[in-house]
Structures are given as C-alpha cells and as structure tokens.
Amino acid sequence: MSASQSTRRPGAPVAARHRTVAGPAGRLHAVEQGDGSLVLLVHGFPESWYSWRHQLPALAGAGYRAVALDVRGYGRSSRPADPAAYRMRELVADNLALVRALGEETAVVVGHDWGSNIAAASALLHPEVFRAVGLLSVPYAPPGGPRPGEVFAGMGGPEEFYVSYFQRPGRAEAEIEPDVRGWLAGFFAALSADTMPGADAPDPHFVSRADGGTLRERFPRGVRPAWLSEADLDVYAGEFERTGLTGALNRYRNMDRDWAELAGLAGRPLEQPALFVGGTRDASTTWMAEAIDAFPRTLPALAGAHLLEGCGHWVQQERPAEVNGLLTGWLDALPEV
C-alpha cells in the first residue's frame, strides 16, 4: 500500500498541479489535486483533462488523490502518427502506466463518453489494478456482438451516423479544423440540455449522404450552453487549434480493431464496484437503454445507476454539484485500501 492510499483525511486540498510522465507512446500529461486513494479521471471526445475541472477540487477536498489525464492524442499527451496506436488496448496501457508512474498499486477509474469505454476496458483487462469503475454518460456494454462498423453503416437510411462519418481519415478534420472554436461551440451546444435542437429539428448526430453534408449544418447557431463560459471554450479551442483533431478522431477509427482484439472477452461482466451517471436528455442513454437494463448481469456490483433529469451529454460539466455528490458518496462507501 502506498502512502497516498492510507486512511482518507478530508480537508483543504493542495492546489492542482500539472505533471508529465513517460507512457507507452511517449508522454502522458495529467493534472493532479489532493492526497489519498487514487481516482483516475478519463475524458471523452472532444475534450481534455479540463473536463474534470469541477471534480478535481471536489474529490481532493473529500480526501482523494484526483488525477485527470489528457488521453493519448489530446492536449499535452503524445499523438502517435499511426491510427492503430489509438486502439483500446493501447489506451488501457496508458492508464496502467500512469498509475505506476504515480507510485500507486491500485486506482478507481472514472470515465465520461469515450473515457467511460476506456475506464470499463481498463477495469476489464486489469482488475488487479482498477478496483472500482465509474461510468458517465455511456453505459457499460461487454465486448462482443456484431462488428461495429457494420452496425453504424446501417444506421440512418439516407443519412450517415456521425460515428461512420468520423471513421474516414481526413473527412471530419476538413470540416472542423478551418474553424475549431466555432465547431466545438456548436458540438457542445448540440448535446447540451439547454441548447440542443428540439424534437422537430434534424438530428445533429447524422449528416446527409446525398449532398456531402456536414455535422456543423445541424448544430444550433448563436447559442452557448450555460455550463460553457467563453473562457472554457477558449481552453478547449486552444488545445485543438494547437494539436489538430486527428489524434482525437483516431479513437473512432479503431472500433473494428477493438472488436476483434477483445473478442475473447465477449459477454464478460465487470465484477468491480461500479457507478453509472447519465442524463435523461443524453442520446447515449436512449440508444443504449438495453445496456442499462442489462446492468444486473453486466455490472453485478453496481452501487447505483443515476439518470439526472433534464441533463444532456456533458453530465459532469452540466451538473457538477450533483455528479460530485454522487462520486464522493460512492467513493466514500468503497472499502479503504
């Protein structure tokens, strides 16, 4: 047991600090705050460690060592050129390397969006290290089933699902990178409860197959979610203007590789203590309603599945106080290590 994993001592946390450690692909950047048992926070698309800015001080104040990383391809972490470097096993290896570099033996891992999938895979592949798993927005679905590329290609009829749109190298980059800030503002607004299009508007998750449409065409215009300040948007835009979007988008380009590489774990439940938090207005919780219904089988040690009424996709940013309360309550109930 490391020194930081001794008895929790809630109190005034130390200031957050940036640190960079060696990872399998080169460099892993993370932001750390607090002392105590390690809680690793894994963001989704198109975000960064900054997505956890409300959770870092809350978890630190509750007596935990909270660490939010830039996932491979994002921010100050390395961005390998090979698209295959972004497959799930590689991202899990990054999480494992970060835990070791921090001098820890175990961690609780919490993820949002793609980070939820990465957190779940980390717990599935290394249960000896990742002792509990928190999933935000995207519910756990065990490996297996039909090939993802075929499933997504068949969605939408005359329209193309955004996952398929993202999978073709260079295509989404051509849409996004001429105006990164504007695209991010629209994407965040399209999936936020207070700014998302109404039920009678075209679904922003699809593009027209017939006329070479773009996602941007369906984003809300001239609105900004309440949770996203101009300064927050500056942070996100500044990172992607510097790095480009290819590293982030390469996650989508490995879904069929992951399906093949994880085939031996088909149907495998996560046995560790688990928590799920989603929003009732998040498409992820409706598209994957069957995965939520299957939690008694797929997450047998689930402590709670919470759907926040009227919340969109960006749960820990839209509703930070509620998410912080759920996270700290769950963490406090875990056995101390």
Tell me the whole-structure pTM to 2 decimals: 0.95
Domain residue extents for the chain? 3-146+255-333, 148-249
Q: Could you tell me the pLDDT band of residue 210, with boundaries at 50, 70 and 90? A: confident
Model pLDDT for residues 62-86, shown as the tens digit of each residue: 999 999 999 999 999 999 999 999 9
| CA–CA distance, 307 with 43 (Å, rounded to integer) | 19
C-alpha atoms less than 13 angstroms from C-alpha of 148 in its C-beta half-sphere: 22
Collapse the DSSP code of 57 into the 3-class scheme (helix H, G, I; strand E, B; otherwise coil) and give the result: helix
| CA–CA distance, 277 with 295 (Å, rounded to integer) | 13
| CA–CA distance, 183 with 181 (Å, rounded to integer) | 6
Cβ atoms of 137 and 44 within 8 Å: the answer is yes
Which residues are known to be catalytic? 113, 313
Q: What is the CATH number of domain 3-146+255-333?
A: 3.40.50.1820
Q: Could you tell me the pLDDT band of residue 213, with boundaries at 50, 70 and 90? A: confident
Model pLDDT for residues 42-54, shown as the tens digit of each residue: 999 999 999 999 9
Model pLDDT for residues 95-143, shown as the tens digit of each residue: 999 999 999 999 999 999 999 999 999 999 999 999 999 999 999 999 9
Q: In terms of C-beta density within 10 A (0-12 exposed, 13-18 middle, 19 or more buried), how is residue 82 classed?
A: exposed
